[in-house]
Structure 1
Amino acid sequence: MKSNYKVSQSSSKLLRTAIHPFQFSNICGTVYQQGNVLFAPDGNTLFSPVGNRVSVFDLVNNKSWTYAFENRKNIAALALSPDGNVLISVDDGMFPPPHFLVIHPHIDLDGRALLVNAKRGVVLHHFNFKKPVKDIKFSPDGKYIAATHGSHVQVWCTPNHLVREFAPFNLHRTYTGHHDDVLSVIWSPDSSQLTVYRCFITTSRDMTARLFTLHPLEGFRPKTFAGHKDAVLNAYFAEDGKTIYTVSRDGAVFTWKEKDADEEDDAMSDDDPIASTSKASTSEMGNAIANTRWGVFKRNYFNQERTRVVCTTFHRPSNLLVVGFSTGIFGLWEMPAFTNVHTLSISQEKITSVAINASGEWLAFGAKKLGQLLVWEWQSESYVLKQQGHYFDVNTLSYAPDGQTVATGGDDGKVKIWSTYSGFCFVTFTEHTAPVSTVAFAKQGNVLFSASLDGTVRAFDLIRYRNFRTFTSPFPVQFSSLAVDPSGEVVAAGSTDSFEVFLWSVQTGKLLDILTGHEGPVSALAFSPTGANQLASGSWDKTVRVWSIFGRSRAVEPFQLTSDVLALAFRPDGHELAASTLNGQITFFDIQKSQQRNVIDGRKDVSGGRKADDRVSAANNSSGKSYNSLSYTADGSCLLAGGNSKYVVLYDVREGEGLMVKKYQISQNLSLDGTEEFLDSRKVNDAGINMDLIDTRGDESDLEDRLDHTLPGASRGAGDMSVRRYRQEARTKCIQFSPTGRAWAAASTEGLLIYSLDESVSFDPFDLSIDLTPQAILDVLKAREYLKALVMAFRLNEKPLIQKVYECIPRSDIRLISRQLPAMYIPLLLRFIAEHLERSPHLEFDLIWVNTLLMTHGRMLRDRSGEYASVFRMLQKGLGDFERTISKV
């Protein structure tokens, strides 16, 4: 009978893994990449494109999350319907030089769009505009969508987001007339005019703006607004519709108004000889925008030296014009008087996107080059939000012991700490002067250590937010790995050039010892988590060494491997060590017996995705694929592995099985190298060079983007490896499980990706029988058989039902029920209480339960502490939160 129970319990665990997979939940390390940021209609929520995903920032509740859907490539334009229900995201496609399009007209330029239910984040429809889209806007009533389409503008009927249709996008009309790319579309204000008179203005690179009507009007021809000397970036209607403002890239603002009957102006022209309709028809239409004869009323200039206008926005109710410049300066001008209200420098790089919320109080700015996102309240001159990701790649990450914060280190030399709850970075340390290779928290969680290629290991105090200790070696070396003793008293770092391991005392900052013996760079270090005074080091010399660093014998246990060691991880009980090598294998060692236990050949598992310059298919491109980061789950049953690939793999390593449970694809972004599975032969030119590898910077519109910084005589064609690549590759540099076991994070090319258990699946029964129903549980609860009701609720495993039974149990019965509850339900109840602590006001009730369960079943829980480690950490996190809250009160 016992053996049968074990089998059913094991199969139940596998069933849980299948039903509760880890799902993508958030991106923390990146807040903005390119495209336009926009506010929701309520003005409290901000949408920002993050690569090929969309992040949402709740500015009132100080939280952020990222939608799970992905565009094919980096997002170029976002649009939100006036009611906030429908979101459209369009990717940027390809931008090859014009001469290439003449030779290869069959190339598909993408401009693929997703129509998304913004409330739920569900993709409703896919659509391809077949050309890059510079701007896309909903009409004020939300019934139409206008999108730029090269030198044309297309207006589509908005699909119904409540009905599933086969062909939801219906083209209303295509508008022509511009001679170069259209840059923006602006709808007329939603006033009392009928929809038949609705107009919109388009601005173009051909230095003109044009006025179109949504529906044909008798005698109307599109009006042209000419006179600018550079590309017209935007045009805006005033609130009453009687004034139009156009802004060009060279810093000119033209104010257009209705011309007098006898006034002639060469700057304003109609495409039709018939200048306008008769006076009688004009008065009948209430002097609609379409029938106004427009002329230049005033010319203004920003007069910012050596700078260009990059982005603008306009707030109609308050007549505020907001302008972002290429020098990182932004300004506010009150129209039509053109009074400068505010000018401020907020970035070292050009501002690429600007938005203003409905009330006109908050301004949002995005800077592409630095990855900055700022929300500024201009009246009080204070930041509502100020976030910036790592300037270069994120190299490493580490979870705090409570699982609430994550530390990251990047190539820009910065160490950032992120809140997993809000998704925001709340402190940045900039003391390092070279890329940060590893970060690690001390066991207590109030101290963070970081190792860098600048030759220092630094300790940061997370209470006062300062660098209180700096550890250096007797001679300059670069540190590539780091480990902290479980007691927090000793920190170890491995070097890349002297092949040594250095040990320091955290209390005194003095160098304790130098461990020698490796014959290659020390790539990985790990202390035994049980405090057994063992330090494991892995090196490129194909060995793993286990040092007894505090023992008198100073014994060293070397393990020989077949390839260079890249990563190490101890199992939480300290009895097993996993080592990843350059040949794609993961080798497991029994530390107590000093013998090899198992080997997983993971090269085929991690392979996939071909680069633009690869000569073989993705399926055969397993050479060079390996894992450079390993992490055990809290109970030691599974191992997560990630590396030089778009995949992260989860293995079941119980009892030496080594079965692959799941493969996670960290990105489907085709803008990154290594995500495509097959070569697109349409992108290969006659010389056999992939279009993605051709440098098209010379075709950029801005001077700073056209500049070539390569050394003269250093380039030797497209295949020259000395040329700096601008195309990023999909990779995972570091992965780690949360101590609570409910999430894991990956430091990838696109930022810090967080995957957590999917809570949307509610039905996950355990030991189900035919008479076990919600009504049966309620009947037992009504009869006051609380123990039976609690066990039945856990077997049905529906959280609302468990919570109802749990909260109905009288306080006086807690001790008795705790004693009689079967042991198999104890960890389930403790996990439930840990989650209940976070959102329940019943503090004393929860504390009585925790105290009683630990007192009654403490011996059993201690003996199986490794198995229930994630439960204990969740409980510790919940109790720690309450302790901090009450101590403040």
Structure 2
Amino acid sequence: MKTDYKFSNLLGTVYCQANLLFSPDGTYLFSPVGNRVTVFNLVDNKSYTLPFSHRKNISRIGLTPQGNLLLSVDEDGQAILTNVPRRIVLYHFSFKSAVTALSFSPSGRYFVAGVGRKIEVWHVPSTPDSNTEGGLEFAPFVRHHTHTSHFDDVRHIEWSSDSRFFLSASKDLTARIWSLNAEEGFTPTVLSGHRQGVMGAWFSKDQETIYTVSKDGAVFDWQYVAPPNQDDDEMQDDESDLQWRIVNRHYFLQNSATLRCADFHPESNLLVAGFSNGIFGLYEMPDFNMIHTLSISQNEIDFVTINKSGEWLAFGASKLGQLLVWEWQSESYILKQQGHFDAMNSLVYSPDGQRIVTTADDGKIKVWDIESGFCIVTFTEHTSGVTACEFAKRGSVLFTSSLDGSIRAWDLIRYRNFRTFTAPERLSFSCMAVDPSGEIVAAGSIDSFEIHIWSVQTGQLLDRLSGHEGPVSSLAFAPDGGLLVSGSWDRTARIWSIFNRTQTSEPLQLQSDILDIAFRPDSLQIAISTLDGQLSFWAVSEAEQVSGLDGRRDVSGGRKITDRRTAANVAGTKSFNTIRYSTDGSCLLAGGNSKYICLYSVTTMVLLKKFTASVNLSLSGTQEFLNSKLLTETGPASLLDDQGEASDLEDRIDRSLPGSKRGDPSARKRTAEVRVSSVGFSPSGTSFCAASTEGLLIYSLDNTIQFDPFDLNMEITPASTLAVLQQKDYLKALVMAFRLNEAGLIQRVFQAIPYTDIPLVVEQFPTVYVARLLRYVAAQTEQSPHVEFCMLWIKALVDKHGAWLTANRGKIDVELRVVARAVAKMRDDIRRLADDNVYMVDYLLGQAGGDKAGPGEGNAKMLEWTATTNEKDVEVKALPSSTKELDLNGIFKGDAVVENEDEWIGLE
């Protein structure tokens, strides 16, 4: 099994803090999620996370007007310059202090950063106007100049459309006008008059007006005019009195709510403002006409931005982790996503590997689509934290257990809760297991030491299994459905034969409390994780331990800010809370209350690889050594409550409810601890997922083309392979291509084989390469437009090597799953295509049958139509009627003359 898994995507978190950015064409949205940046494709409904990560949470991001360079800055002022199309890091840089505002000039040659109360103008890296010969730079970041006139933090920076001037809005109640270079007759100007901090300042489209917005909801219009009492004649004589003055004052009037964010679109004169009560308003300037207001969140809106065309508004709310894109003209959502509010408890892959279900302490169950990265449905029926989730083998039914005392069954076709199981007395269920047939569901509780078993069909409680002397912590059904294994805090695991007439249990004695149990896919072995950090492996048939390993040294790492001991000696991180077998049963994945995820080999008991879930220093438990300077007389500095020292009134108010520990947004810990609460392998074995503090981390095998030869010798080269292919020795050419393992070469040989020779080639194909060929054909089935060609390959493989596939089902289970998924996807695509075109085919057949002329003439007339594409008309004319017929499937028999054949796209 390959172990070179790499981070590929981050789900479960869509927005944390800082600003949002639209790409120049307005189709992509950049959102900071912790110490990473996620990019949402709003047209294709997909998302991906850039592979780099900061050492702390991101506070500001900026994008060049060309959309090719992304500059992201964390809370300490450490910046990373990224090439967006290639998703690679170009340069690391430090601003030496926290950056509060960042903006690139429309020309793309400069950017301005607000570093505290200072304003720094920098050259954009790799621009021709750098002070070096030939445009080649010794240092990528070159400072142009610095301004230090503000008395408090700079909150917003906006450029003029010609890139000559820029505006800065500050917390010191003023906005200022600056020039990029020295301008004749221009001096930096102060715009003062607001009574609270200025949140934003913008130029109008003609740059004759400046709009400023302050925290108290005041909007001022500034124009370069003479004093109000001066006549026009006097103004012409003396232009020295001209200056920026307030010509209009407007107010939002949102009761006691304060302004949190605002943005202005000069082309359409739209001003959008977000408030602390979760309401946003859209206004048309300069008349300040309100277009509409809408409540989109229960908490304050942290950031708003408008795309270049002015059609879409993007909002971010950090308290609940909400990200919204609103089209104001049609008043509809383009994107509406929200992550879990509380920590995730468990996750499970759907049997087809296309979705991940997560449960959390907030009582919500979310279904995430892996391909798009979006949450497609959220269930909220549970009234308390959801502790476990599991699919029935068929894949359309999901079961969840909760601390509210219920087990619920969900239909993932109609998205509804169709069955609820409860115990006679009130219990909080901590673990759950489902029989592979989907007929029986079992649950264990912390309150009671019994295991409850229900019938899914009737919903009745069938039995209670007694025997444990402590709370039941883990349950697992054997994949073949014969046995149930339970683990408890009484240091025993029990194997139950619940389907036999006499229900017996075989106890397994361990040295410490049991945290998790996992069944190997072949049902012959179980792995047990205990509180002392040990992993023990037991043979199910003999009920005896076959091997074990000590994982305390592997999983321990990371020191929390309250720890008195070093990271190597902390007891709380030295055990695995969650373990899962890989799909083929050769490896075991384990995670716990630390930043490490460990991958072990089951056969050799060796640690294969350690994955670091997070390097974010904003989380507690990611540092190996603590800084003694941050330790004060009263404890760690980051735990001191400085809420009463905040400069703004609303930040000093304590809104927490007395005694409230859950359900109150302000009760979240100041510094979250890094931990991995659940892990899971995908059914295909090509990726695994981990539920961590930062979100849902997906690690997958690198799908890029790599030179990984298989059984290679000196004679096998791409040139010799193509020479054999030209000699039409297809079998030898295909084997040589697979031995080289070059993707481009395999595809060329694969597509060159005539469909009539497929059965003969597959029949003589060596069995050692059958698994590789099966996986390759499945991948081609999902990507290639040659549907029938791929189906012939799959049919030949099953016909010729069916006995070998059956005998080696355990070894090639991953390949068979991939083939089944590819065939199912193709079936759905063809079904959808047929449904879309059924009326067109009926119409064409009706036209052919309804013509009263001769059989040939009717078809010839029907064929003279024009198919319109996006660019030009393509005419398809019939040959003489004697050579034309239309069969029952709507396909033309004979040849047709197609003008401009490349443009013809068929009945669609």
Using the size of structure 2 for normalisation, the TM-score is: 0.88
Tell me the SS of whatever aligns to 2:535.
Answer: strand
Distance in 2 separating the partners of 1:881 and 1:714: 48
Mapped to 2, the partners of 1:264 and 1:569 lie a distance apart of: 85
Matched AA of 1:602: G
Q: How far does residue 714 in structure 1 lie from its aligned partner after superposition?
A: 12
Q: Return 25-34 or 834-843, whichever deviates more.
A: 834-843
CA distance in 2, matches of 1:312, 1:625: 47
Larger radius of gyration: 2
**Which structure 2 residues correspond to residues 207-246 of structure 1 after superposition, within 5 A?**
207-218=173-184, 220-246=186-212
1:605 to 554, 569, 576: 554
2:487 matched to 1:538?
Answer: yes
The residue that corresponds to 2:758 in the other structure is: 814
**Could you tell me how far apart the structure 1 residues matched to 2:167 and 2:255 are?**
29
Distance 1:161 1:650, change over 3 A: farther
Match of 2:366 among 416, 425, 433: 416
Which of the numbers 689, 696, 701 marks the counterpart of 1:752? Answer: 696
Q: Which amino acid aligns with 2:585?
A: G
Q: Which residue of 2 aligns with 1:106?
A: none
**1:662 matched residue in structure 2:** 609
Select the residue among 854, 857, 869 that pairs with 2:801. Answer: 857
What is the deviation of 1:783?
Answer: 1.0
For 1:297 and 1:635, how far apart are their aligned partners in 2?
Answer: 73
User: Per-residue deviation at 1:703?
Assistant: 4.4
The 10-residue stretch of structure 1 (122-131 or 64-73) with the greater mean CA deviation from structure 2? 122-131
d(CA) in 2 for partners of 1:489, 1:483: 11
Per-residue deviation, residues 386-443 of structure 1 (Å, max 9, x unmatched): 1000111111100000000111101110001010010011111000000000011110
What's the counterpart of residue 321 of structure 1?
271
Residue 296 of structure 2: aligned partner: 346
The answer as to 2:147 corresponding to 1:175 is yes
Which residue is 1:431 aligned to? 381
Deviation at 1:710, TM superposition (A): 6.6
Cα distance in 2 for partners of 1:278, 1:213 equals 27
Give SS of 1:598's match: strand
Match of 1:306 among 256, 267, 273: 256
CA deviation map 1:17-73 (0-9, x unaligned): 4xxx11111111011111111100010000000010000000101100101100111
240 and 498 in structure 1: CA distance in 2 versus 1, 3 angstrom threshold:
same
- How far apart are the structure 2 equivalents of 1:851 and 1:161? 57
* Aligned AA (1:660): L
Deviation at 1:164, TM superposition (A): 9.2
- Which residue pairs with 1:37 in the alignment? 20
Contact 1:86 1:161 in 2 (8 A): no
Amino acid at match of 2:622: T
Deviates more, 1:180-189 or 1:79-88: 180-189
Q: Secondary structure at the match of 1:135?
A: strand
Mapping of 1:273-292 within 5 angstroms?
none
- The counterpart of 2:247, out of the listed 272, 297, 305, is 297
Contact 2:275 2:301 in 1 (8 A): yes
Is 1:566 equivalent to 2:515 in the alignment? Answer: yes
Question: Is the CA contact 1:117–1:161 (under 8 Å) kept in the aligned structure 2?
Answer: no
1:472-487 map, 5 Å: 472-487=422-437
Q: How far 1:598 moved relative to its partner?
A: 0.8
Correspondence for 1:557: 506
Letter in 1 for 2:176: R
Equivalent residue for 1:886? 830
Q: Which amino acid aligns with 2:199?
A: L
1:621: how far off? 2.9
Distance in 2 separating the partners of 1:310 and 1:40 = 23
Assess if the C-alpha contact under 8 Å between 2:64 and 2:108 holds in 1: yes
Structure 1 residues 343-395: Cα deviation after superposition (integer angstroms, max 9, x where no partner): 11111111101111111111111111010001111100111111000111111
User: 1:803 matched to which residue of 2?
Assistant: 747
Partner SS for 2:774: helix
- One-letter code aligned to 2:610: K
Q: 1:883 offset after TM fit, Å? A: 2.1
Contact 2:639 2:670 in 1 (8 A): no
Give secondary structure in 2 for the equivalent of 1:807: helix
The offset of 1:330, in angstroms, is: 0.7
Report SS of the residue matched to 1:801.
helix
8 Å contact from structure 1 (residues 583, 624) kept in 2: no
Equivalent in the alignment of 2:530: 581
Distance between the aligned counterparts of 2:199 and 2:340, measured in 1?
30
Determine the structure 1 residue equivalent to 2:685.
Answer: 741
2:57 aligned to which of 32, 49, 74:
74
1:392-791 correspondence to structure 2 within 5 Å: 392-531=342-481, 533-621=482-570, 624-654=573-603, 657-685=604-632, 687=633, 689-701=635-647, 703-708=649-654, 725-791=669-735
Which amino acid in structure 2 is aligned with residue 427 of structure 1?
A: V
The CA deviation string for residues 534-553 of structure 1, in whole angstroms up to 9 with x for no partner, is 00111111111110110123
Q: Which runs of 5+ in 2 are unaligned?
A: 129-134, 835-908
Question: Following TM superposition, by how much is the alpha carbon of 1:707 offset from its aligned partner in structure 2, in angstroms?
Answer: 3.1
TM-score normalized by structure 1?
0.89
Alignment partner of 1:636: what SS?
coil
SS of the equivalent of 1:537 reads: strand
Is 1:58 equivalent to 2:30 in the alignment?
A: no
Cα deviation for residue 682 of structure 1 reads: 2.5
Does structure 1 retain, via aligned residues, the 8 Å contact 2:121–2:146? yes
Specify every segment of 5 or more residues in structure 1 that has no aligned partner in the other structure, as ranges: 1-12, 93-109, 266-275, 283-290, 716-721
Q: Using a 3 Å threshold, how does the CA distance of structure 1 residues 700 and 460 change in structure 2: closer, same or farther? A: farther
1:144 shift after superposition: 1.1
Q: Cα gap change, 1:728/1:165 in structure 2, threshold over 3 Å: closer, same or farther?
A: farther
Q: Could you say what secondary structure the match of 1:619 adopts?
A: helix
State, as a whole percentage, how many aligned pairs show the same letter.
54
**Alpha-carbon separation, structure 2, partners of 1:277 and 1:139:** 34
Aligned length in residues: 820
Secondary structure of 1:818's counterpart equals helix
Q: What per-residue deviation string (whole Å, max 9, x for no partner) do you get for residues 731-784 of structure 1? A: 000000000101100111111111111112421111121222111111111111
Q: CA deviation at 1:862?
A: 1.5
Deviates more, 1:512-521 or 1:603-612: 512-521
CA deviations over 1:474-519 (Å, ceiling 9, x no partner):
1111111111111111111111110211111111111111111111
Deviation at 1:712, TM superposition (A): 8.1
Give distance in 2, aligned partners of 1:449 and 1:852: 39
Report the CA distance between 1:683 and its aligned residue.
1.8
Aligned position for 2:105: 139
Distance in 2 between the 1:529 and 1:850 partners?
Answer: 27
Structure 2 match to 1:151: 117
What is the deviation of 1:696?
2.4
Q: Using the alignment, how far apart are the partners of 2:526 and 2:554 within structure 1? A: 21
1:557–1:594 contact (8 Å) kept in structure 2: yes
Cα deviation 1:65-87 (Å, max 9, x = unaligned): 10110011111111100000110
Aligned residue identity for 1:182: V
- Give the distance between the partners of 1:530 and 1:728, measured in 2 at CA: 40
Q: Which amino acid aligns with 1:732?
A: V
Matched with 1:374 is 324
Tell me how far apart the structure 2 counterparts of residues 329 and 348 of structure 1 sit (CA, whole Å). 9
State the shift of 1:855 in Å.
2.0
Tell me how far apart the structure 1 counterparts of residues 472 and 652 of structure 2 sit (CA, whole Å).
41
1:254 and 2:216 are equivalent in the alignment: no
Letter in 2 for 1:172: H
The answer as to whether partners of 2:203 and 2:209 remain within 8 angstroms in 1 is yes
